[in-house]
């Protein structure tokens, strides 16, 4: 759904006809008091000193006090060695005036610690062993500084620039305070040292017409990190910016503050709908990561000495408005190590139902049941597969979620049954803003249970959103989430059936009349301010919703929930999309780095609105977007209510055919997508990944963002330029070969390959050395293809070997957790292709069989023999295309779950 447009915006658009975001609605660092304050600090003047005599070391934890020599406030530093080459550093006030917020529910469990030991110690510092290899932490006392070393190399330094800052909680002492007390303190010179300048914005801050009352005063935290040898840093989504993060010296820092940004602009560090405070640093030698676990408004400054003659180094600085410093330093050393380290902390991508990897047809709005029916029929008429049709806010009874419009959607079950009869599904939106209406059950229940977020005066917080006046459930409360989840039960959420899934929009939360279109920071969630939890709100909404979908099925079915707002850990809950983009080529292009950035920090199930949400795409743009989207994880077309219809068949038969072909390519590859999501679920590896993840030493790949890999084996370089006649794809790997998946033409790696393109071209290459399963019998939905046979695409490398996997389960339940799946390793070596069980203790049977094997880069055999598990052998027929060196084995026919070997003599 669109974000709002307020009246001033509307006027601006009318008068200037521009489409850009109104930047004036959102704060710059300069306009955000704590960011301004913190950024004003100069490096090299750290007032912090480690009090080594306070050090305590248990088997798993080191604690140490730090003192700020300017104000004598003491901090407590905790240092942990965590399993899997992770170091955790926590810094809090030793004795805060009241507790400071520590982010719950993001870590999947209390991380397992490993022993630490002191290697040496003197008055200047302490050297600790990190257990593995030659890794050490050096704690320097004056000023306080942490260096993580491996051998003689510094991997990362903390407070090396002296920008650690920790605004301690304090009593208010400005003009409003008791004048007597002030006098008293003036008279006492010993307390003078602790006096700090009261700056504007410490106790109150006004932005546009909104005043933030800040009852707790200043509470920001900040720390700098130096990354020697690093020139490339990535991550900290969500920003509409390049994959490789830019230095921020000459502008604003990257901002992490979940916001509903109306018509966002490309290539700038403004905050968007979601925040994952994780940065990945990469060099040819090593990959590391920093996870800054803080849910308050956060700014990240990046600077680099690139261009100078020194050893390259990137310096990073994190600034958050409240909470504590709690960081996880993931030491790699490989990209995949960093992924698994981060996954060990916050979990992996949820394993989506297979159908949700198919194509999704959405629009704000499909008007009524008749409309849904005719769009559904349109897909059949034009023979285009799809799995989900979506309903936006207009399906509800007056924007009251969990209800249906009594006229337009009078018989939702009938509609859902109609879709179910075609093995298709639906998603209906449920947003977290609840209409304030005494006749609305959901509102009355939440209010009477006291579940709403409170305003600073203790009443239920009210804001303006789609329904008009709305309140916001306090999703940070576990009891609220449990109640919310129970609302998805079939007997509560009337008119629903098992093929109805959910979409959480506006969960930043979006508050049309709030500061920066979101909630007031001084609103309260129990003991905490909204300021403390802001970036976590959206995650909690999705968490409660996903739990509802699980519960309604008695824990059997996997949920599917799409969210716009997200945080670290959101990967466990479902899919994310890049919000309200626009029908512009630039937005198509940026969908790649935006989703790659999310994948690097765990969120694999990412996609952008196909066609662009705002405005109306040209036919060429729409077709190109369908083609690009077919090779991105979450594949959904969506459109603003004010745009003309754009169902795939509305642009003439030629374009319908182009779109059909793109969608069909997606469906043939569903087995591959599905097993990659299984892998992502098990390992935390991204499904859609930058080339450098697989070619970490190849500098040419480090900044690539116009092409990427799906898994390890498919390289995609979509056409994202208007009027393109060709693209230049970089094919990595000096000893690799790549096969064009459409022509089977072989290309050498480590080259820039110019590929001429027409409107039907989607440049995709399969890596030599890989085996990819496909289902070529594309039907009207993924569910219809369940029992269909596989074709294995075996692409040989220069060593004439290849390997791959085949994962099969029921596609929609949690039974895979009970080992009900097939997981096989496919290997081609020494002219023998074989299928070996990777999970002998798992049980599942499938009707699917192997109908065809296509060997790319093959030589002609004299015979092909299949040997099945029962020892029987049979000769197989085959076709050999000498011009392309493609061998097609006809109908081997073995079951996809069986052991077999195939010999090419």
| Residues annotated as part of the active site | 505, 580
Percent helix, strand and coil across the chain, each to the nearest 5: 20, 30, 50
CA 354, 358, 362, 366 dihedral sign is negative
Backbone φ/ψ region at 694: left (φ over 0), alpha (ψ -120 to 50), beta: alpha
Listed residue (646, 557, 565, 86) closest to 356, CA to CA: 557
CA 528, 532, 533, 534 dihedral sign is positive
DSSP 667-727: HHTHHHHHHHHHHHHHH---SEE-HHHH-TT-GGGTT--S-EEETTTEEE----STT-SEE
Give the strand pairing for 850-856 and 790-795.
Answer: parallel
Q: In this complex, which beta carbon is closest to other proteins, that of residue 72 or of residue 890?
A: 890
Burial per residue of 809-820, b for 16 or more beta-carbon CB atoms within 10 angstroms, e otherwise: bbbbbbebeeee
How far apart CA 872 and CA 160 sit, in angstroms, is 68
Listed residue (389, 379, 418) closest to 778, CA to CA: 379
Q: In this complex, which beta carbon is closest to other proteins, that of residue 380 or of residue 735?
A: 380
Q: In this complex, which beta carbon is closest to other proteins, that of residue 260 or of residue 321?
A: 260
Residue partners of 459: CB distance under 8 A and separation at least 6: none
Q: In this complex, which beta carbon is closest to other proteins, that of residue 98 or of residue 645?
A: 645
Establish how many alpha carbons lie within 13 A of residue 268's alpha carbon, considering only the half-sphere containing its beta carbon: 14
Q: Whole-number minimum distance, CB 848 to other proteins, in Å?
A: 13
How far apart CA 133 and CA 141 sit, in angstroms, is 25
Please count the other Cβ atoms lying within 10 Å of the Cβ belonging to residue 44.
9
| Beta carbons of 595 and 608 less than 8 angstroms apart | yes
Residue partners of 374: CB distance under 8 A and separation at least 6: none
How far apart CA 728 and CA 726 sit, in angstroms, is 7
Q: In this complex, which beta carbon is closest to other proteins, that of residue 158 or of residue 778?
A: 778
Q: In this complex, which beta carbon is closest to other proteins, that of residue 688 or of residue 887?
A: 887
| Beta carbons of 289 and 335 less than 8 angstroms apart | no
656, two tokens: 């319908």
Q: Whole-number minimum distance, CB 407 to other proteins, in Å?
A: 5
Q: Whole-number minimum distance, CB 294 to other proteins, in Å?
A: 38
Q: In this complex, which beta carbon is closest to other proteins, that of residue 78 or of residue 371?
A: 371
DSSP 645: P
Q: In this complex, which beta carbon is closest to other proteins, that of residue 385 or of residue 897?
A: 385
Is 190 in a helix, a strand, or coil? helix
Q: In this complex, which beta carbon is closest to other proteins, that of residue 494 or of residue 642?
A: 642
Q: Whole-number minimum distance, CB 614 to other proteins, in Å?
A: 8
Q: Whole-number minimum distance, CB 844 to other proteins, in Å?
A: 19
Q: Which residue has the tokens 């599942």?
A: 844
**CA 807 to centroid of chain Cα atoms:** 24
Q: In this complex, which beta carbon is closest to other proteins, that of residue 11 or of residue 118?
A: 11
How far apart CA 604 and CA 719 sit, in angstroms, is 22
Q: SS3 letters for 804-825?
A: EEEEECCCCEHHHHHCCCEEEE
Is 549 in a helix, a strand, or coil? helix
Establish how many alpha carbons lie within 13 A of residue 878's alpha carbon, considering only the half-sphere containing its beta carbon: 28
| Dihedral angle, C-alpha 271, 276, 279, 284, nearest 10 ° | -110
Q: Whole-number minimum distance, CB 181 to other proteins, in Å?
A: 56
Q: In this complex, which beta carbon is closest to other proteins, that of residue 594 or of residue 658?
A: 658
Q: Whole-number minimum distance, CB 891 to other proteins, in Å?
A: 4
Q: Whole-number minimum distance, CB 625 to other proteins, in Å?
A: 18
**Which whole-number Å values give the CA distances from 248 to 245, 254, 304, 314, 317, in the listed order?**
9, 7, 9, 11, 10
Q: Whole-number minimum distance, CB 361 to other proteins, in Å?
A: 14
How far apart CA 585 and CA 608 sit, in angstroms, is 13
How far apart CA 648 and CA 631 sit, in angstroms, is 17
| Beta carbons of 324 and 300 less than 8 angstroms apart | no
Q: Which residues bind other proteins (CB under 8 A)?
A: 10, 13-14, 367, 370-371, 383, 407, 421-423, 641-645, 664, 776-780, 784-785, 788, 851-852, 890-891
229, two tokens: 């040898």
354, two tokens: 């297979």
Q: Whole-number minimum distance, CB 664 to other proteins, in Å?
A: 8
Q: In this complex, which beta carbon is closest to other proteins, that of residue 317 or of residue 587?
A: 587
Q: In this complex, which beta carbon is closest to other proteins, that of residue 30 or of residue 370?
A: 370
| Beta carbons of 90 and 166 less than 8 angstroms apart | no
């Amino acid at each position: 759904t669109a974000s709002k447009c307020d009246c001033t915006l509307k006027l601006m658009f009318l008068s200037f006809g521009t489409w850009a975001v109104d930047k004036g609605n959102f704060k710059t660092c300069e306009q955000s008091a704590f960011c301004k304050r913190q950024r004003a600090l100069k490096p090299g003047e750290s007032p912090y000193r480690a009090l080594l005599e306070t050090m305590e070391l248990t088997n798993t934890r080191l604690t140490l006090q730090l003192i700020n020599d300017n104000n004598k406030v003491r901090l407590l530093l905790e240092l942990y060695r965590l399993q899997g080459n992770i170091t955790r550093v926590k810094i809090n006030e030793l004795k805060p005036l009241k507790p400071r917020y520590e982010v719950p529910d993001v870590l999947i469990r209390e991380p397992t610690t490993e022993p630490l030991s002191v290697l040496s110690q003197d008055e200047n510092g302490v050297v600790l062993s990190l257990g593995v290899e030659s890794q050490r932490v050096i704690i320097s006392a004056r000023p306080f500084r942490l260096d993580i070393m491996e051998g003689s190399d510094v991997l990362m330094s903390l407070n090396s620039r002296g920008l650690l800052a920790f605004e301690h909680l304090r009593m208010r002492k400005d003009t409003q305070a008791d004048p007597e007390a002030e006098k008293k303190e003036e008279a006492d010179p010993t307390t003078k040292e602790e006096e700090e300048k009261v700056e504007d914005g410490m106790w109150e801050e006004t932005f546009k017409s909104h005043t933030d009352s800040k009852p707790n005063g200043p509470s920001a935290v900040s720390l700098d990190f130096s990354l020697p040898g690093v020139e490339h840093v990535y991550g900290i989504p969500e920003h509409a910016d390049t994959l490789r993060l830019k230095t921020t010296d000459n502008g604003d820092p990257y901002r992490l503050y979940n916001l509903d940004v109306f018509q966002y602009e490309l290539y700038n560090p403004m905050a968007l709908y979601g925040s994952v405070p994780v940065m990945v640093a990469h060099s040819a030698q090593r990959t590391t990561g920093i996870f800054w676990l803080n849910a308050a408004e956060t700014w990240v400054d990046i600077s680099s000495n690139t261009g100078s003659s020194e050893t390259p180094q990137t310096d990073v600085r994190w600034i958050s408005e409240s909470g504590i410093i709690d960081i996880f330093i993931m030491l790699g050393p490989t990209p995949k190590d960093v992924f698994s380290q981060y996954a060990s902390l916050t979990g992996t991508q949820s394993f989506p139902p297979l159908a949700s990897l198919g194509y999704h047809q959405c629009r704000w709005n499909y008007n009524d049941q008749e409309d849904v029916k005719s769009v559904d029929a349109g897909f059949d008429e034009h023979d285009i597969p799809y799995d989900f049709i979506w309903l936006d806010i207009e399906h509800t009874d007056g924007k009251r979620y969990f209800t249906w419009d009594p006229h337009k959607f009078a018989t939702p079950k009938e509609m859902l049954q109609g879709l179910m009869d075609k093995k298709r599904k639906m998603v209906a939106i449920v947003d977290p803003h609840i209409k304030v209406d005494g006749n609305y059950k959901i509102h009355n229940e939440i209010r009477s249970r006291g579940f709403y977020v409170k305003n600073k005066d203790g009443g239920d917080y009210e804001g303006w959103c789609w329904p008009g006046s709305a309140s916001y459930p306090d999703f940070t409360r576990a009891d609220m989430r449990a109640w919310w989840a129970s609302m998805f039960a079939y007997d509560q959420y009337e008119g629903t059936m098992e093929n109805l899934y959910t979409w959480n929009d506006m969960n930043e939360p979006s508050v049309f009349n709030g500061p920066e279109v979101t909630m007031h920071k001084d609103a309260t969630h129990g003991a905490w301010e909204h300021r403390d939890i802001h970036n976590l709100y959206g995650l909690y909404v999705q968490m409660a919703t996903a739990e509802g979908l699980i519960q309604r099925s008695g824990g059997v079915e996997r949920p599917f929930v799409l969210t716009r707002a997200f945080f670290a850990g959101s990967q466990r809950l479902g899919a994310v999309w890049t919000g309200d983009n626009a029908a512009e080529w630039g937005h198509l292009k940026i969908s790649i780095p935006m989703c790659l950035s999310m994948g690097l920090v765990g969120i694999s199930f990412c996609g952008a609105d196909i066609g662009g949400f705002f405005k109306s795409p040209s036919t060429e743009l729409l077709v190109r977007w369908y083609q690009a989207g077919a090779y991105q994880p979450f594949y959904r077309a969506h459109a603003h209510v004010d745009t003309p219809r754009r169902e795939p068949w509305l642009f003439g038969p030629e374009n319908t055919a182009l779109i059909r072909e793109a969608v069909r390519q997606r469906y043939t590859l569903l087995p591959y997508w599905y097993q990659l999501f299984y892998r992502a679920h098990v390992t935390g590896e991204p499904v859609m990944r930058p080339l450098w993840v697989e070619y970490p030493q190849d500098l040419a790949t480090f900044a690539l963002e116009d092409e990427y890999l799906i898994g390890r084996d498919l390289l995609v370089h979509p056409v994202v330029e208007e009027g393109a006649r060709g693209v230049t794809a970089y094919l990595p790997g000096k000893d690799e070969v790549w096969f064009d998946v459409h022509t089977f033409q072989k290309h050498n790696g480590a080259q820039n390959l110019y590929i001429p393109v027409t409107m039907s071209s989607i440049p995709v290459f399969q890596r030599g050395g890989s085996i990819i399963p496909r289902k070529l019998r594309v039907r009207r939905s993924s569910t219809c293809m369940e029992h269909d046979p596989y074709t294995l695409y075996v692409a040989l490398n220069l060593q004439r070997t290849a390997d791959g996997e085949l994962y099969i389960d029921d596609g929609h339940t949690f039974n895979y957790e009970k080992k009900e799946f097939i997981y096989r390793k496919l290997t081609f070596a020494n002219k023998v292709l074989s299928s070996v069980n990777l999970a002998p203790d798992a049980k599942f049977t499938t009707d699917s069989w192997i109908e065809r094997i296509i060997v790319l880069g093959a030589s002609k055999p004299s015979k092909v023999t299949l040997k099945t598990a029962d020892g029987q052998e049979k000769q197989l027929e085959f076709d050999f295309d000498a011009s392309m060196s493609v061998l097609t084995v006809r109908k081997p026919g073995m079951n996809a779950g069986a052991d077999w070997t195939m010999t090419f003599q």
